[in-house]
């Protein structure tokens, strides 16, 4: 898979989140470079919009992103 299309502007990828996880380099490889379609931030951005991404959401927060998407689809 190619790099995530949000990579240049993504606060997680660019170390701009207030609390970056210790394993952030590994997450960047796993999600941003390989499997971005599974990233919680990417999923929220593409369905609800970039502005809806919580500041403290990490790529692996899939449960949280799924809950957000379910709530969004109920509207």
Binding site for ligand SF4 (CB under 6 A): 4, 6-7, 10, 12-13, 31-32, 36, 39, 41-42, 59
Q: Supply 42's token pair.
A: 């990417």
Rounded Cα distance, 37 and 16, in Å: 21
Q: Closest approach of Cβ 41 to ligand SF4, in Å?
A: 4
Q: Closest approach of Cβ 45 to ligand SF4, in Å?
A: 6
Rounded Cα distance, 68 and 47, in Å: 10
Q: Closest approach of Cβ 73 to ligand SF4, in Å?
A: 20
């Amino acid at each position: 898979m190619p790099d995530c299309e949000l990579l240049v502007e993504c606060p997680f990828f660019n170390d701009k989140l207030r609390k970056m996880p210790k394993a952030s380099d590994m997450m960047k490889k796993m999600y941003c470079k390989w499997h971005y379609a599974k990233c919680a931030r990417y999923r929220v951005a593409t369905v609800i919009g970039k502005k809806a991404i919580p500041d403290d959401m990490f790529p692996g927060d899939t449960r949280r992103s799924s809950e957000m998407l379910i709530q969004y689809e109920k509207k």
